Structure 1
Amino acid sequence: MNTQLRYLEVPEPYAPDGRPAVFLAGATVDCPDWQSEAVDLFAIAGFDGTVLNPRPSRNPATNPYLAWLPFGWQDRNIRRTDVVLFWNPIGHVRVHDCYEAGLFSPYGGTVVVGCDPADPVQRANRVLLANLMPWLPVADTLADTVAAALATLAARASAHR
């Protein structure tokens, strides 16, 4: 089987093409470029789908302010994906909002979350998420979070067969 990862970042337009899509949600400013690592993990796993990155970081010539042009790129595209992957989310409220939006959107997207247990802010997020959504598993590493996204996509594909 020939698999090919399709990678899009701000401000590239996204049109669903029938293949699974993952939106990389979480911090994009003043943090390590975890999105590049996540894209690499999806590629190594042979993911045949689209990864959408709101952080224009993979192309060094890209203007970092393009993340805000056009306004609404994130909100428009996050609802059009199958999985929203949060790594070290800025706060538990955004995770909950995306989860609820997935429940009521025509695309029925799923949320997967990972929080670095060594980070005190992420330990707090983990507790808040456990209280707000006790059924939502939270991974400890980015690799485990990507694996959870892939497992979710595989389960969805099996359910649609």
Structure 2
Amino acid sequence: MKYVEAPGEFDKPGTALFLAGGITGCPDWQRDAVRQLEELGCEATVLNPRRTSFPQDDPRAHDAQVSWEYAALLRTDVILFWFCAETVQPVVLYELGFHAARSDTVLVVGSHPQYERRRDVVAQLARARPDITVLDSLPATVRAAAAQTAVLPVHSLGAPRTSRSAGPVA
């Protein structure tokens, strides 16, 4: 597995997996997801938007972060969405809606059972992408995402993908 943290470069052939979900006001679930992916032997390039150190005093840092995430999400093969219980995460909800509308994007979506907008995530995905089941735990979501990376054809990041559904994988 290759690991890339924002704002790192990730021009590498192979399958890419983006860890989409809350950062501000959320536990570092990305660290747990990366550890679990390593334990599963995932061979994808894992793109993590959560930086070890974010330069809060740099006014350009926010725009650079948003630009990196936007570009990475458009170029990745599998997007793992995780909604933790601690906060609503409106930007992540927007990103889920945007990428759910893209039929060429493999999405794996999980939500903590206590996430306050879980019913909305489930209801909206049932209409936009009925092939996607919202999973109940981070480990189940990570396993499903790892399984999706294993079945995708290898290509260069940014190359066109064929349409795939990401159904539940236990």
Range of TM-score over shorter length: 0.7 to 0.9
AA aligned to 2:131 is W
Question: Which of 62, 68, 75 is residue 70 of structure 2 equivalent to?
Answer: 75
Instruction: Count how many residue pairs are aligned between Structure 1 and Structure 2.
Output: 145
Change (3 A) 1:36 1:70: closer
Where in structure 1 are there 5+ consecutive unaligned residues?
A: none
Partner of residue 44, structure 1 = 39
Indicate the SS of the match to 2:13.
Answer: coil
- The answer as to whether partners of 2:19 and 2:47 remain within 8 angstroms in 1 is yes
Is 2:123 the counterpart of 1:99? no
Is 2:86 the counterpart of 1:63? no
Question: Which of 65, 68, 82 is residue 87 of structure 1 equivalent to?
Answer: 82
Please report how far the alpha carbon of residue 93 of structure 1 lies from its aligned counterpart in structure 2 after TM superposition.
4.4
Residues in 2 aligned to 1:39 and 1:67: alpha-carbon distance in whole angstroms: 24
Partner of residue 114, structure 1 = 110
- The answer as to whether partners of 1:92 and 1:129 remain within 8 angstroms in 2 is no
Partner of residue 9, structure 1 = 5
Residues 36-56 of structure 1: CA deviation (Å, up to 9, x unaligned): 111111111111121111111
Please give the root-mean-square deviation of Cα atoms over the aligned residues, in Å: 2.4
- The answer as to whether partners of 2:3 and 2:45 remain within 8 angstroms in 1 is yes
TM-score with structure 1 setting the length: 0.77
Residues in 2 aligned to 1:97 and 1:129: alpha-carbon distance in whole angstroms: 11
Question: Which of 115, 120, 127 is residue 124 of structure 1 equivalent to?
Answer: 120
Give percent identity, aligned residues only: 33
Partner of residue 23, structure 2 = 28
Residues in 1 aligned to 2:65 and 2:142: alpha-carbon distance in whole angstroms: 27
- The answer as to whether partners of 1:117 and 1:123 remain within 8 angstroms in 2 is no
- The answer as to whether partners of 2:100 and 2:125 remain within 8 angstroms in 1 is no
Change (3 A) 1:133 1:49: closer
TM-score with structure 2 setting the length: 0.74
Partner of residue 135, structure 1 = 131
Change (3 A) 1:64 1:53: farther
Report the structure, 1 or 2, having the larger helix content: 1
Higher RCO (CA 8 Å, separation ≥ 6 residues): 2
Please report how far the alpha carbon of residue 119 of structure 1 lies from its aligned counterpart in structure 2 after TM superposition.
2.4
Where in structure 2 are there 5+ consecutive unaligned residues?
A: 84-88, 155-161, 163-170
Residues 43-75 of structure 1: CA deviation (Å, up to 9, x unaligned): 11111121111111xx3xx23544643551001
